[in-house]
Amino acid sequence: MADPFTSALVSDVLGRLTTAAIQEVVLFRGLENDLSALNNTFRQIQGVLHDAEMRQTNEKAVEEWLRTLKSASLEVENVLDEASTEAMIQSLAQYQT
């Protein structure tokens, strides 16, 4: 059976890549090209994800790919959480000065 968590996770990552907090950190650190590449990669993954989820019950390689994708997506979410936190800290520091 397909794991809806992976689809939701990929969608969440895509949504978070465009938030103002993430954009602020990306601009501050000069990571525009990296963010663009990551965004493109996740959009491509999202395009084939439904088919892969349907095929995972019959194909072990697809099942392993989905497990790897889930793990990588969780790591990206952790990085996005750290970037969002950094942006909030910077905003608070500017507000207090």
Range of the domain at 89: 4-96
Task: Tell me which residue has tokens 């000065």.
Answer: 97
pLDDT, residue 71, reads 92
Nearest CA to 17 among 60, 71, 97, 80? 80
Whole-model pTM: value is: 0.72
Q: pLDDT by residue for the chain (97 residues), tens digit each?
A: 456 788 888 999 888 888 888 888 888 888 888 888 998 999 999 888 888 888 888 888 988 998 999 999 999 999 888 888 888 888 888 878 6
> Which pair of structure tokens corresponds to residue 35?
């963010």
Q: How many CA within 13 A on the CB side of residue 85? A: 6
**How many folded domains does the chain comprise?**
1
Phi, psi of 17 (to 5 degrees): -65, -20
